[in-house]
Amino acid sequence: MENPFSSELIETSDGSYTLKLKGIDEQYHSVKGALQESQHVFLESGLNAFEVLPNPLFILEVGLGTGLNAFLTGREAQIRKTRILYEAIEPYPLEETVLQLLNYPQLFKEPWGDELFGTIHAAGAEKYENFKDWFFIRCFPVKLQDKVFEAGKYHLVFFDAFGPDTQPEMWTREVFERIYSSMKPGGILVTYCVKGDVRRALKATGFEVSKIPGPKGKREMSRAVKPLLNNQMANKIQVDENFNI
Ligand SMILES: C[S@@+](CC[C@H](N)C(=O)[O-])C[C@H]1O[C@@H](n2cnc3c(N)ncnc32)[C@H](O)[C@@H]1O
């Protein structure tokens, strides 16, 4: 699919790189620090919000892009020795020449950073690519609007689309309803966006939505939780009996 978003590489305030869209004020990550934003919004406020991490943990990411969120998650899986199955959607994969300019593995000391980054961007839709015993990733080259989801699959959703001013079609109640049904009860969706319309659409879908402290340079972000079923207890579903890759 031809990428309608042409972009250029920029360095952000914490030394990590991101891509800036040409002609509009929109980036893949915050200019105040791509790494710190990704770490705060998706890892600290998403993955670390589970009192007990489900094992295996099923994650959906909307917009794989540079792979920074996936890279930080794969690192976490390897460091914690916890199994994570990561499914990303990306209709406009970045070219190899662009990926080679991104400096994410170099921001960390682990000798396996390049291998993890390579595994993420080699992933296709057919089967999971694995990084060691802990991180398994697939990437679907389709638009979110065209993706058919399995019901009740994901514990955690990283909703990392371009903002609603750039891509309003990504932030609709219809889209959130499809994502909601793809999540397990007690599942968590995190996004950097706190726009009123978006939060209202999430609430109308059935999520319990809260504004929580945002990353550096942004006061707030949103966390949406799919309510548990009657008499179900938080974090009860830890081991998926049907785990099969
Ligand atoms: C804010 S950037 C994502 C940043 C990414 N998570 C990262 O860490 O680099 C938004 C991403 O959504 C992707 N995207 C654009 N249209 C999409 C669509 N219809 N469905 C799914 N993803 C889309 C873009 O190509 C881009 O990679």
Q: Give the model confidence (pLDDT) of 117-174 as tens digits.
A: 999 999 999 999 999 999 999 999 999 999 999 999 999 999 999 999 999 999 999 9
Write down the pTM of the prediction: 0.94
**Residue whose CA is at the smallest distance from ligand 1 atom 5:** 65
Domain 33-225 CATH class label: alpha beta
Query: Is ligand 1 within 6 A of the CB of residue 87?
Result: no
Query: Is ligand 1 within 6 A of the CB of residue 139?
Result: no
User: Once rounded to an integer, what is the mean pLDDT over residues 88-101?
Assistant: 96
Amino acid at 85: L
pLDDT at site 238: 45
Query: Is ligand 1 within 6 A of the CB of residue 68?
Result: yes
Domain boundaries, the chain: 33-225
Contacts 24+ apart (CB under 8 A), 237-245: 237/54, 237/184, 237/185, 237/186, 238/52, 238/53, 238/54, 238/55, 239/54, 239/55, 240/54, 240/56, 240/58, 243/56, 245/85, 245/128, 245/136
To test the pocket of ligand 1, the residue of 89, 107, 145 to mutate (highest count of ligand atoms within 8 Å of its CB) is: 89
In tens, the pLDDT along 95-127 reads 999 999 999 999 999 999 999 999 999 999 999
CA dist 146 → 16, 84, 170, 175 (Å): 32, 25, 11, 10
Query: Is ligand 1 within 6 A of the CB of residue 62?
Result: yes
How many angstroms is it from 154 CA to the middle of ligand 1?
19
pLDDT at site 63: 98
How many angstroms is it from 6 CA to the middle of ligand 1?
12
Query: Is ligand 1 within 6 A of the CB of residue 16?
Result: no
Report residue 25 CA to chain centroid gap: 21
**Residue whose CA is at the smallest distance from ligand 1 atom 19:** 143
In angstroms, the CA 135 to CA 130 distance is 6
Query: Is ligand 1 within 6 A of the CB of residue 91?
Result: yes
pLDDT at site 145: 95
Tell me the three state secondary structure of residue 1. Answer: coil
